Amino acid sequence: IDEFSFDKHSVFTACNSDCLCSASEWDPVCGENGITYASPCLAGCTTSTGSGKNTVFWNCSCVGVAGNFTASAGQCTDKDDCDRMFSYFLALSVITSFIISLGGTPGYMFLIRCIKPQLKSLALGFHALATRTLAGIPAPIYFGAIIDTTCLKWGQKRCGGLGACRIYNTTAHRIAYLGLTLSLRTISFIICIPGFILLSRQMKEEEKCAAHGALTNGGTELELLRKEEFVTLKPTNQCTPRSTAQIGMPGSDL
């Protein structure tokens, strides 16, 4: 709810001071003045007709709009175009998710190019471990903690303690959730900048070394090819030549 605050002491006013209402009760009603009250008692209502969602409360002293002191069960709708805005939000979320997913493969390629070939398997393992440990596990914890700060009314468990949040401050909720997401992505982008710089320098050095090697090692490669051809064409000694001393020896075949 925009521009709305809830305090168990501020809900009591002159119009409901004689009703002996409970600040922890949660049974919201919408007054004709467009204000949501935590309970019919806090709205100062004395009678009701109907049942369930069709319940209408009468003689609500805290409503008081042009002689109409009625309130209906449930919270007041924030805006008439809420359904249309929700459709826009879904479409924007799909487009954003698609754009973000396009960077998945280039990100892995960037990671692999920055690592020595013999360390790629180990690096990918550490990358997966760091992603699960630093992002997958703690993210629900700190996201939930920040979202809880935007709660206006907490439910009460029967056994005591806080239950689920009954109503959020939508403006603060939106700023907290999207602001945290934007902050994390900005930090990750800043961390990637030094990697891009180092990778570009490494690629330039490799190109220079490759060009220099093509010019200086041309003669060396030619010499290696000649040596390989020489080794290939050189006859192998399949028969061991006899020495001159063996030629004139008795018992020889010659």
**What distance in Å separates the CA atoms of residue 167 and residue 75, rounded to the nearest whole number?**
10
| pLDDT tens readout for residues 150-181 | 888 887 777 777 788 888 888 889 899 989 98
Q: Which residues of 214-228 are buried (b: 16+ CB within 10 A; e: fewer)?
A: eeeeeeeeeeeeeee
Query: Model confidence at 115, in pLDDT bands (50, 70, 90)?
Result: confident
Residue 115: is it exposed, middle or buried by C-beta count within 10 angstroms (0-12/13-18/19+)?
Answer: middle
Contact in structure between 25 and 43 (CB atoms under 8 Å): no
Q: Which residues of 58-80 are buried (b: 16+ CB within 10 A; e: fewer)?
A: eebbbbeeeeebbbbbeebeeee
Contact in structure between 43 and 29 (CB atoms under 8 Å): yes
Q: Of 32-46, 102-116, 131-145, which range is least confident?
A: 102-116
| pLDDT tens readout for residues 10-37 | 667 778 777 788 777 788 888 888 888 8
DSSP state of 52: G
Residue 109: count of CB within 10 angstroms of its CB: 10
Sole residue written with tokens 């698609």: 98
Q: Does residue 118 have a pLDDT over 60?
A: yes
Q: Which residue has the higher pLDDT, 111 or 147?
A: 147
**What distance in Å separates the CA atoms of residue 252 and residue 223, rounded to the nearest whole number?**
45
Q: Compute φ and ψ for 251, nearest 5 degrees.
A: 90, -5
Q: What is the pLDDT of residue 247?
A: 45
Query: Model confidence at 72, in pLDDT bands (50, 70, 90)?
Result: confident
